[in-house]
Amino acid sequence: MKTGLAHLRAYLPVIAFFGGFLWDALTVGRSVAPSDLWILSGYLAGAAGILWWLGHRRHALAVAVAASEGAAQTTTPPASFRSIWWERAPLLLLQFLFGGLFSALFILYFKSSSHLTAVFWSLGLGGLLVANEFIDDKYHRFTLTWALFGLCAMLLFNFLLPFMVGSIGMVWFYLSTLAGAGFTHWLRKKTPGCPGRAAPVWIIAALLAVAYPLDIIPPVPLVKRDIQVGRNFARVANEYRLTLEKAPWWVFWRGVSHEVHLAPGERLYCVSSVFAPGGLSTRLYHRWEHYEAMRGWVTVSRMGFGLFGGRDGGFRGYTYKQDVAPGEWKVHVETESGRTVVVHAFSVVTDAPPQPERETVLGL
């Protein structure tokens, strides 16, 4: 019986990981709601309180040992410091809070990731989420704990500050990163005994500052909803309608074909839907690219439209091109500063459009 319990205990971190991740995936939802950000702020505040308490406990232990008789001959702490709840409960609670933060941030960043480098960034957060389930016994090493706390603070503030000011400008990313690192540095200074080192927190902040202009970090808090290219665009009531071509029956994993057939001179429309929190206003762009054999991917046009957040279905915008050359195409949905929200690849064939039974009308 004991062997079975010991065997089950070895898998508790994995069970906790998948259980917590499933819970966050269901509760965070398909968009970035204000309640999500305030709940995560509560997690961060709770982790800050526990870190202060751990520093206080460590400092009190050092004082108690130094004051006890024979302190020079023994390092055994007083009995009150050896309680399992005194020693383990704060670490387990801190693990839970870090797990909740990493899980939710991973989901939120993954929603905003649609190109390769951003996906790798999000998977890196997923790796930290998994690792957190196995390093609770390392939390007494304050330098590591401050680094984890600082990363959570910076990533959360990257969401929170743009949401509060209603803008996704580059300046708000750098200010929110600085605020997260500064808050961690301040908390360490205020913790009794000032344990650990804060240098790794500032190294992480510097790495984020370099990664941002390289388009590695997704343009949070924007979240992709949908993007399609097709023909016969129309706006009916509060719905955008677009004629798309059905995928062949053997391409069972896709409902829409990768190819678009256009008659000469016919317009090709791109309609995208992007979620933004309420109160956020910015401008998005469709950057049309065509692949040329001698030059590679060439930007043909970059057309913009305003975005005003708060619509659950996402804010929709569209652009179109006429006399489209055949071949491979991409449309990048990006911010004013060139940060990529989503990339949609397709090919154009200039001949007669398919029969109506091969088409479908999509409403966005």
d(CA 215, CA 343): 13
Structure confidence by residue, pLDDT tens digits, 150-181: 998 998 998 888 888 877 778 888 999 999 99
Instruction: Name the amino acid, one letter, at 346.
Output: F
Top-ranked range on mean pLDDT: pick from 40-49, 229-238, 309-318, 337-346: 40-49
Cα–Cα distance for residue pair 262/132, rounded to 1 Å:
52
- Domains of the chain, CATH where assigned: 2-211 (no CATH), 223-363 (2.60.40.10)
pTM exceeds 0.85: no
Closest CA to 198 of 211, 209, 182: 182
Indicate the average pLDDT of the chain: 77
Which run of H or E residues covers position 340? Answer: strand 340-350
pLDDT of 335 strictly over 80 = yes
User: For the residues 119-134, what does the mean pLDDT come to?
Assistant: 66
